Amino acid sequence: MSMLSGGKAAHDLFVYGSLQEPEVVNALLNRVPDRVSAVLSGFHRFRLKGRFYPTILPDGTGEVTGKVLKGITDDELKMLDEFEDVEYDRKAVEVVLTDTSEKLPVETYVWKNKDDPDLYGEWDFEEWKRHDKEGFVTATKKFLEDRRLPEAKTRIDTFKTFFKQDSEDGKPLGS
C-alpha cells in the first residue's frame, strides 16, 4: 500500500474477472485506474454455474492471468468490497507483473466457499467479453442505481434479478 497526495492510502488490487474490463471499473469508480498485466500463481479461476463472473481459489499449481489496478483509494476499495459482496474475501497475495517479472504484493478477491458445488471448469475473459460484457455492464449500472434506494439490493440480488433467464431465448432480461 502506498500513499496518495493528501495522506489517503493507495491500494493495488489484482483483478481476474469482470473487473479487468475498463467499462465495469469506470461504472463503479467513475475512472479507470492505471492497470498492468500480472499473473497470480497457485490459484485456479473457476466458472460458477448460473453466474456471469468467475472466482478463484488456491490450488497450489495453477496460474491466473489478470490486471493489477494501481492506486485504488480507500473509498474506491469500499465500493469494490460492496460490489464483490459477501461471496468473496479480500486477501493479500503476491503477483508477478507480466512486463517486468517484478513481484508485487497486492490484494485480490477469493471465493469464500471452497466446497461450493457451483464451481467448475475455467472462466475465459475473452469469451465473457463476447457474450456477457454488455449485460454485465448494464447490470452493474443497475446495481449502482439501486444502492441509492432505502431498500437497496446487494449486488448478488441485483444480478440475480437482472440475469433471470428467459426460457425462450436464454438471454438476460434487458438485453
- Residues serving a catalytic function are 84
Max Cα–Cα distance, the chain, nearest Å: 54
Kindly report the backbone phi and psi dihedral angles of residue 142, in degrees, each rounded to the nearest multiple of 5, phi listed first: -65, -40
**Residue 16 CB contacts under 8 Å (≥ 6 apart), including other chains:** 40, 45, 54, 56, 64, 65, 66, 67, 108
**On the CB side of 93, how many CA atoms lie within 13 Å of its CA?**
25
Burial label for 36, CB within 10 Å (0-12, 13-18, 19+), is middle
Dihedral angle over CA of 135, 52, 83, 10, nearest 10: -100
